[in-house]
């Protein structure tokens, strides 16, 4: 949410009134079929290959914000996440019995799984 905007001009067509609060629906943005294709709800890591990233708008995926107020910890966060995941995945195999249609989510500032997500770890 962005607070305290004073008549910020989003484009030539739109002006956001003073003292407006803005909420970006990241869930919809990150699952928009016009950007991600007809299978937008499916996990496809190939979407983030360099050659595929150049074909879409730079603000189509915003986990850490973008633009002049971009997250200063972006690179650190991504590197930390990758290092942790490598250590976990080298030692354990993760499994779940859930399918995507069984997961119920709640939209808020942070998207949460309402009905839980049981994961089992098997040592490799």
Residues flagged as binding site for heme: 71
Pairing between strand 92-95 and 120-123? antiparallel
- Return the DSSP state at 16: P
Q: How far is 99 from 117, CA to CA, in rounded Å?
A: 10
8 within 8 A of 14, measured Cβ to Cβ: no
Q: Residue 94 forms beta bridges with which residues? A: 121
Structure tokens at 35: 């950007």
Q: How far is 62 from 59, CA to CA, in rounded Å?
A: 6
Q: Which residues are annotated as a binding site?
A: 71
């Amino acid at each position: 949410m962005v607070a305290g905007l004073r008549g910020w001009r989003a484009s030539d067509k739109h002006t956001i009134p003073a003292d407006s609060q803005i909420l970006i629906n990241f869930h919809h943005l990150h699952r928009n079929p016009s950007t991600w294709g007809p299978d937008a709800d499916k996990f496809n890591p190939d979407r983030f290959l360099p050659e595929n990233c150049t074909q879409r708008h730079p603000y189509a995926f915003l986990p850490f914000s973008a633009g002049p107020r971009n997250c200063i910890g972006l690179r650190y966060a991504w590197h930390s996440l990758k290092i942790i995941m490598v250590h976990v995945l080298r030692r354990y195999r993760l499994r779940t019995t859930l399918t995507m249609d069984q997961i119920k989510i709640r939209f808020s500032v942070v998207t949460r799984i309402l009905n839980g997500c049981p994961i089992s770890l098997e040592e490799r």
